[in-house]
Every structure is written in structure tokens, then in C-alpha cells.
Amino acid sequence: MNKKHEFRMKVRYIDVDGMKIVHNSRYFVYFEEARLDLVEKENYPYKQIEDDGFIVPISESRIFYKKSIYYGEEVAVITWLEYLKNFSMKFKYKIVKDDGAIACEGYTIHAFIKTDTMDFIELPEKLKDILIKYVENS
Amino acid sequence: MNKKHEFRMKVRYIDVDGMKIVHNSRYFVYFEEARLDLVEKENYPYKQIEDDGFIVPISESRIFYKKSIYYGEEVAVITWLEYLKNFSMKFKYKIVKDDGAIACEGYTIHAFIKTDTMDFIELPEKLKDILIKYVENS
Amino acid sequence: MNKKHEFRMKVRYIDVDGMKIVHNSRYFVYFEEARLDLVEKENYPYKQIEDDGFIVPISESRIFYKKSIYYGEEVAVITWLEYLKNFSMKFKYKIVKDDGAIACEGYTIHAFIKTDTMDFIELPEKLKDILIKYVENS
Amino acid sequence: MNKKHEFRMKVRYIDVDGMKIVHNSRYFVYFEEARLDLVEKENYPYKQIEDDGFIVPISESRIFYKKSIYYGEEVAVITWLEYLKNFSMKFKYKIVKDDGAIACEGYTIHAFIKTDTMDFIELPEKLKDILIKYVENS
């Protein structure tokens, strides 16, 4: 279905560094906020995922920085998936500035781990059900 | 010369998240601390770089997460460069845990910008001089 | 007029620590977000304050913690002033949880400094005009 | 014995804000780092405290800011206690800059809670034993 999730946020003062721009590490926090907002909007909030006994640790993360982001800006973090596989999934992100310019593009790759044994498991059905519509070209 | 810089640090409580592990975004902070420590140890501290009128913004960053890092651990961030080019340079990093296990590998790619005009410039000589010995296979 | 400003926010995952509660230091960030939201809603955003050539550094901050705050909660930061004096002002805050319980109470005291000389100055008129209605018992 | 603990640290770039000074909230992080360093140096590290089944939540925190702190400075966080009571203890802190100037003074008040029941408990003996020598005028 190629659905994309949009998470709008106001850039916080605490996130800018001594150059008065959002620090490179904070982009990953914005990605996380968008991802957690997506699952919550799909009625499968992070707390429920935890209660269901698994976690989705990140195995790889990457960002291509295009334009600086400043305090007070309202930005949109667009989130979707490149793939959903048996043992991994890849989220893609784009942060769009108020004027439409792209601030960055990036992705995070996740695995699935059962909390009690800390063993890798296959993609849980419940997660697949809510995410499948965000997979591109699917 | 294939020199590598080692930055030893104690993992701080503030850096762990609700899963009691260092948050994925904080690894990029550790990379930055290591990078800034390297230039300082080479007698070209960040403040001097700023005073010399240029900055080295990140155009791309990437991490492969291997093992979780916990509060109180003493880790070593190993830093060197893959290349130093006219208009970009690529720092590589490895975070090593106390028991020798690799916590992550990653890199950051940087450009050079003159602060007064915000134009891209070529790699400043002074920076090249201190970094050249950290370039791998050089 | 005893006006009070309400800033509603969703508690972010990045703000919780290894005990899965919002870290004590982050409460001060929430106070700041509320304070900046107040001046923005009064059409005197922080950027304009900076452009007008002064800053409002904190000389004292204090919090009485009552109840823990958890990831995902929606809280309200209530902000007003205890006083507006010639050379200082005191903001008061209360963070209220979803169920009406008070998470904390606190305050910050600020001075006024001219950015170009870094000298202390008297309360700027423009700031007084927008804040006077938030002073309690005035 | 009026013992005081000194925790030396290098100010990190991530801790400065858009005014190029350490953000007001990060002082509380420095206090925490100093406090955790103290108990570790006394051979009762935080992990052991957790394993012993109790936590020491903060009920009040306060800072008097005197001078700004900048990236790259080496500062000393001096830590001791004003009192150790049956149901609370009060840590005091002073952050001293390289030139001997005092950056801030502050304190945190803590209670003792048993982790399994989350009930308040009396000051654990083991904690009292290591902290008693840091109580002023004792």
C-alpha cells in the first residue's frame, strides 16, 4: 500500500549544539520518536510490544545529512519501511523542513528478540500486521 | 602510518535508556568525543579549529551495532581515517568493551566549510598535517 | 491577572533512565520547553528576544519531586511567575500527570543580560508587558 | 571527618547549548556523575546498591548558578553531605573551574526505597558506613 507515516514536531532548544543547529546524534532520537509514534497510532504502542515479551533492537543505523535544522522549526519526520523480512526489518526516514527542503534521509535496521531468553525470533505476526502497509513497492 | 587513536571512557548513567543499555543515539556522541580528543591530543583542539574560521560538518554517519554497552563499563573508542580527500574525509570508529568484544563499528564523513561565508572549502593544510598519519593503508 | 500557561507534552523515550522513569535532570528541560512555549504563544519567541539583544540566564533552579513520570504519559507543565522585579524574575512550575497527580513543583530565577556587553540590565519593557499577567497575586 | 570527594571531568561538547555554555539541566548530570563516582571509589558502586535491593530517589534538587561553564574546560565537582538522617540524606556540591572560580553550588536530597515493595525504608547501614565520613561538622 506504500503508506507513509508523518510525525510533526517542533524542534526543541535542548537539541541544538554550540553551532545553534540540531546535533547530529539527535536526528536518531527524532527517528525513534517517529517510529514510536507510528506504532502507537497503529494501536500497538511500545509498552504493549514490551508486554508481549519482545524487543526490536537496532543492528544498523545511517543518516545522510542534507540541511541543518534549527531551534523552533516545525519539521515532519516521514517514516515507512523498505522491507519486512523473517529476521529483520528496515525503516526508512526523511526529515522535511517547513519550506519543503529535505533535512536528511536515513534508515534503521532492526532484529526481533524475545525478552525472556534474549534469543532472536522471527518477525511477530502482530507487528507484521500493522507494518505491512508501510512497506514500499509491496 | 596507520596510527590509531584510543579514547578510553567510563560509560555514564545518563547515557542508558529504559532497557538499561546505552541508547543507540549516544554512540554518535562517543564517536564525537573520541574525534575531539584526537584533534586535541594532536594539539589542534576544536576551539582552535573554530578560531581558524572553519567547521567540519557531518554529511553521513553510520553504525553497525554488535553488542550492548552498559552503565559503568570502561570502553575504548578506536578512531582512524579511511581517507582524506580534497573535499571530504572519512573517520572510522570501533568501540571495544573491557573484555575485548567489539560493541560497534561505524564511520562519519565530513566536509569543510568556511565559517564566514559558509562556503565549502578544500581540506585545510593544518588539519591534513595532523590527520594524515591516521589514514589507513597510506 | 494570575494567568497560568499550560504546556501539554508527551513524555519521550529518550528522557527516561535505567529505572524507566524520567531522569531528574530532564524536568528542567521540560520547564524550559514550557517557558519558551509561553513566550512564543505571547508572540515574543526566544529568537526575537535574542535578536533584541538580551538573554535571560538562570541564577537559581529548584525542584521538589513528588511522583515519577513514565514514558508515553501526557503531562501538563503549568507555568506562571511569583514576581517580576527590576533585576530578576521568578518562574514557577508544576508538572501535572494525566490522572491529576502532581509530579513536581519547582522554580527558576532569571536575570537579564545585554548580549553585546554581557552586563546586567533592568527588566526589558517588552518582556514585562507579556509576563505581567502571569504574576501571581498581582 | 569532613571528607570531601573530588570528581574531575572534561566538559563535553554535547553538554553545551546554543549559547555555547553548559546547559542548566546538565549541571544535575554532573552532580550525579560525581555522586556515583564517590560511591564507586568507596567500593559500593551503584550496581551493588541496586543488587542490594534499594534505590535512592531524589526528593529535591537545587542549584545556584554563579559562572558559565564552557566546552573543553576541566572542572572539579566537589561532593560531601550536609546530613545523613534516618529517612533522608542531603548531598552538597560545588563545581570549581580551572581557575578556581566557583561555577555553581547546589544540593540534592534523597530518600531510601526498597525496590521489591517500593516502600520507604531507613538509611541502609552499608550506605551509612561509607558516607558518614563525608558529613560536614560531624
Enter the pTM of the model: 0.96
Among candidate residues A3, A136, A5, the one with its CA nearest the CA of residue A82: A136
pLDDT for the residue B52: 97
Q: Do D72 and B45 touch (CB under 8 A)?
A: yes
Each residue of B59-87: pLDDT tens digit? 999 999 999 999 999 999 999 999 999 99
Q: CA-to-CA distance for A120 and A114, rounded, in angstroms?
A: 6
Beta carbons of A19 and B24 less than 8 angstroms apart:
no
Q: Tell me the pLDDT band of D1, cut-offs 50, 70 and 90.
A: low
Beta carbons of D65 and D28 less than 8 angstroms apart:
no
Q: Do D24 and C59 touch (CB under 8 A)?
A: no
Strand (E) or helix (H) holding C51: helix C46-51
Sign of CA dihedral D31, D36, D41, D42: positive
pLDDT score of B1 more than 70: no
What number of residues does chain A have?
A: 138
Quick one: cell of C57?
540566564
Residue C45 with chain A: CB contacts under 8 Å: 72
Which amino acid type is present at position D67?
Answer: K
Q: CA-to-CA distance for C91 and C89, rounded, in angstroms?
A: 7
- CA-nearest residue to B59 within chain A is A65
Quick one: cell of C26?
530532564
Residue B72 with chain D: CB contacts under 8 Å: 40, 45-47
C26 — contact with chain B (CB < 8 Å)? no
Interface test with C, best of A7, A36, A98 (most C CBs within 10 A): A36
Nearest-by-Cβ selection for B24 from A19, A26, A28: A28
pLDDT score of C1 more than 80: no
Nearest-by-Cβ selection for A63 from B26, B32, B61: B61
Instruction: Per-residue pLDDT tens, chain A, 138 aa: give them.
Output: 689 999 999 999 999 999 999 999 999 999 999 999 999 999 999 999 999 999 999 999 999 999 999 999 999 999 999 999 999 999 999 999 999 999 999 999 999 999 999 999 999 999 999 999 999 986
Q: What is the mean pLDDT of chain D?
A: 96
Beta carbons of C67 and C103 less than 8 angstroms apart:
yes
pLDDT for the residue C138: 67
Interface test with D, best of B9, B11, B14, B43 (most D CBs within 10 A): B14
Q: Do C72 and A13 touch (CB under 8 A)?
A: no
Q: List all residues of chain D from 51 to 80 with a beta carbon under 8 Å from chain C.
A: 55, 57-65, 68
Chains touching chain C through at least 3 C-beta pairs below 8 angstroms are A, B, D
Q: Do D32 and B13 touch (CB under 8 A)?
A: yes
Give D27→chain B minimum CA distance, Å. Answer: 12
